[in-house]
Chain A
Amino acid sequence: MAKFKGAIVVDTEKCKGCGLCVVACPTKVIELARDVNGKGYHYAHMANADACIGCSSCGLVCPDTVITVYRVKAS
Chain B
Amino acid sequence: MTATTELKNIISEENVVYKKTSVLLDNEMHYCPGCTHGVIHKAIAEVIDEMGIQEKTVGVSPVGCSVLAYNYLDIDWQQAAHGRAPALATATSRLMPDKYVFTYQGDGDLASIGCAEIMHACNRGESIVVFFVNNAIYGMTGGQMAPTTLEGQVTATSPYGRDCHTTGFPMKMSEMVAMLPGTRFVTRESAETPGAVRKLKKAIRKGFENTREDKGISFIEIVGTCSSGWKMSPVQSNVWMKENMFPYYPLGTLKDE
A interface list, Cβ under 8 A from B? 5-7, 9, 14, 16-20, 22-24, 41, 49-50, 54-57, 59-65, 67-72
Shortest beta-carbon distance from A8 to chain B in Å: 9
**Contact, CB under 8 Å: B18 / A67:** yes
B78 touches A (CB below 8 Å) = no
Residues of chain A within 8 A of B28, CB atoms compared: 14, 64
What is the CA–CA distance of A49 and B222 in the complex, to the nearest angstrom? 33
Q: Which of B142-150, B168-176, B189-197 contacts A (4 or more CB under 8 A)?
A: B189-197
**Contact, CB under 8 Å: A56 / B194:** yes
**Contact, CB under 8 Å: A57 / B194:** yes
Residues of chain A within 8 A of B193, CB atoms compared: 24, 61
Cβ-closest chain A residue relative to B24: A65
Residues of chain A within 8 A of B192, CB atoms compared: 20, 61
What is the CA–CA distance of A61 and B17 in the complex, to the nearest angstrom? 15
**Contact, CB under 8 Å: A61 / B3:** no
List B residues 203-235 near A (Cβ within 8 Å): 227, 233-235
List B residues 6-31 near A (Cβ within 8 Å): 6-7, 9-12, 15-20, 24, 28-29, 31
Q: How many residues of B contact A (CB 8 A)?
A: 37
Q: Which of B37-45, B112-120, B152-160 contacts A (4 or more CB under 8 A)?
A: B37-45
Contact of B19 among A18, A41, A68 (CB under 8 A): A68
B interface list, Cβ under 8 A from A? 3, 6-7, 9-12, 15-20, 24, 28-29, 31-39, 42, 191-194, 197-198, 227, 233-235, 238
**Contact, CB under 8 Å: A61 / B235:** no
Cβ-closest chain A residue relative to B15: A70
**Contact, CB under 8 Å: A63 / B11:** no
Shortest beta-carbon distance from A47 to chain B in Å: 13
What is the CA–CA distance of A65 and B23 in the complex, to the nearest angstrom? 12
Shortest beta-carbon distance from B199 to chain A in Å: 11
Cβ-closest chain B residue relative to A52: B10
CB contact under 8 A between A64 and B194, given known A23-B238, A69-B16: no
What is the CA–CA distance of A67 and B24 in the complex, to the nearest angstrom? 13
**Contact, CB under 8 Å: A17 / B20:** no
Cβ-closest chain A residue relative to B7: A7
What is the CA–CA distance of A60 and B203 in the complex, to the nearest angstrom? 16
CB contact under 8 A between A54 and B238, given known A7-B7, A16-B34, A64-B28: no
Shortest beta-carbon distance from A45 to chain B in Å: 12
Residues of chain A within 8 A of B19, CB atoms compared: 59, 68-69
CB contact under 8 A between A65 and B34, given known A19-B233, A71-B10, A72-B15: no
**Contact, CB under 8 Å: A6 / B37:** no
Residues of chain A within 8 A of B35, CB atoms compared: 63
CB contact under 8 A between A71 and B194, given known A7-B7, A63-B38: no
Residues of chain B within 8 A of A72, CB atoms compared: 9-10, 15
Cβ-closest chain A residue relative to B43: A60
Cβ-closest chain B residue relative to A65: B20
Residues of chain B within 8 A of A65, CB atoms compared: 20, 24, 38, 42
**9 closest pairs, A vs B, by CB?**
A63-B38, A18-B34, A16-B33, A18-B33, A69-B18, A56-B18, A59-B18, A57-B194, A18-B234
